Amino acid sequence: MAKMSGRSGTVVFAGGAGIATVEITSWSAELTAETADTTAMHATDFSKNYVPTFTDWTASVEGVFTDTINVNVLGAAAASLKLRTGAANSVGVSGNAICTGISMSVGKDDAVTVSLTFQGSGAATIGTVA
């Protein structure tokens, strides 16, 4: 399987008029599954048993601030979030998400950076993202 570089990664969030003018430096997504313990009190093999329950996902985006931040999307209705490894039609993660956090960081010797956090609402898809 071919290896990939993240240097062309892109992020598109369709909430409101967009969220920020940011030069993206990184993004991450975490998809998780919850389980319920179904172990009986006197299990003969003394091992625990589980069944799947719900799935969940979150994402974060880091970047260099360049212009504006639209804070009105913070906590607004879920909107389309596309995290891609390249331009349109590249591998990535997509789904509807709610922007749950916006933070700026300023240091005397650094570029001004912005961090955005998202909570998925519904299922996420991993694959080709338009």
Domain of 125, in residue numbers? 13-27+56-129
Answer yes or no: is pLDDT of 18 > 60.
no
Answer whether residue 125 is part of any domain.
yes
Answer whether residue 41 is part of any domain.
no
- In this prediction, residues 52-59 reach a mean pLDDT of 97
Number of structural domains the chain divides into: 1
Using CA atoms, how far apart are residues 100 and 38, in angstroms rounded to an integer? 33
Q: Which of 128, 126, 123 is nearest to 57 (CA)?
A: 123
Answer whether residue 35 is part of any domain.
no
Q: Using the Cα atoms of residue 93, residue 105, residue 99 and residue 64 in order, give the sign of their dihedral.
A: negative
- In this prediction, residues 32-44 reach a mean pLDDT of 89
- pLDDT band for position 50 (50/70/90)? very high
Answer whether residue 34 is part of any domain.
no
Answer yes or no: is pLDDT of 61 > 70.
yes
Confidence at residue 10, expressed as pLDDT on a 0 to 100 scale = 82
**Mean pLDDT (the chain, rounded):** 88
The torsion angle over the Cα atoms of residues 70, 85, 34 and 123, rounded to 10 degrees, is 70
- In this prediction, residues 2-22 reach a mean pLDDT of 72
Confidence at residue 115, expressed as pLDDT on a 0 to 100 scale = 92
